[in-house]
Amino acid sequence: MGLEGLFGKPRVLVGMVHLGALPGSPGFQDSMEELVRRAVEDALALESGGMDGAVVENFFDAPYYPDAAPAETVAAMAVILAEVRRAVRFPVGANVLRNDAAAALALAAACGAEFIRVNVHTGASVTDQGLVQGRAHETLRLRERLWARADDQAPLLFADVDVKHASPLSPYDLGQMAEDTFRRGRADVLLVTGSGTGRETSFDDLNRVREAVPEAPVLVASGVTDRTVARALREAHGALVGTWLKRDGRVAAPVDRERVRALVEAARG
């Protein structure tokens, strides 16, 4: 099952459910009940506004652990993800920041998420968390083990190419990174981002990735707005949108259903 098989269409719009600070993180102040309520409301706003899916992510847990997230983070995400999954019908993914692919797969297995996002799947990047190394070999083998006897389809693996808020450890060619991530790392979908959250993705970068791996599904994964979404859907297989869909375009605000509808309408060109 590929991108079209999961979403039932060749071009997709995926939103973000940015979780509030979870228990154990420096910014934690809300109850679990409140965290669940906000996450479910954001997911429902995305679905009713016309988005095709959503990624649930522990966005406000910064500063993040570079690799394995602590048990309390994963436990809280499981509670919230399960409630989001029950509330909506469209596909839901998991991303455990900064780069805990094993936890994301565990959440998918326990809560029924249909895809996961991995920020550094192959290679190594210097980030604000220090050196983050890809663990494609472990991630793919864990997915095989967890779904070896399951009747359900294993989750798709969305992997960033040169992820935001990071720089590759050594000099690099973007096309080669895309090839390594898709062909050697066996990612199912590639993500191309700008330099940071909400920052526009370069369409030149997008085209370099698409030229390097023309067979790969590719999503524009940061900085998409109502002005750029139609182009993103023409030149890629879709977009992953977070900041612009929030009230007044502020990442800390709730998802604004009217902005979601405006984006979906603009995507029709």
Note down pLDDT in tens along the chain; length 269 residues: 799 999 999 999 999 999 999 999 999 999 999 999 999 999 999 999 999 999 999 999 999 999 999 999 999 999 999 999 999 999 999 999 999 999 999 999 999 999 999 999 999 999 999 899 999 999 999 999 999 976 779 999 999 998 878 788 777 799 999 999 999 999 999 999 986 676 788 999 999 999 999 999 999 999 999 999 999 999 999 999 999 999 999 999 999 999 999 999 999 87
With tokens 């009940």, the residue in question is 33
Give the domain 11-267 fold.
TIM Barrel (3.20.20)
Q: Give the CA diameter of the chain.
A: 47
Domain parsing of the chain, residue ranges: 11-267
Looking at residue 195, its pLDDT comes to: 66
Distance set, CA 82 to CA 56, 85, 194 (Å): 11, 5, 30
Looking at residue 198, its pLDDT comes to: 65
- By DSSP bridging, strand 130-133 and strand 189-192 are unpaired
Looking at residue 255, its pLDDT comes to: 98
User: Cα torsion at 124, 128, 129, 130 (round to 10°)?
Assistant: 50
> Among positive and negative, which fits the CA dihedral 222, 225, 231, 232?
positive
Cβ proximity of 193 and 203 under 8 Å: no
Tell me the whole-structure pTM to 2 decimals: 0.95
Omega before 37 within 30 of 0, i.e. cis: no
Looking at residue 152, its pLDDT comes to: 79
What is the spatial distance between Cα 191 and Cα 207, in angstroms, rounded to a whole number? 12
Q: List the alpha helices (DSSP H) in the chain.
A: 3-7, 32-49, 71-87, 101-111, 136-146, 174-179, 203-212, 229-235, 257-267
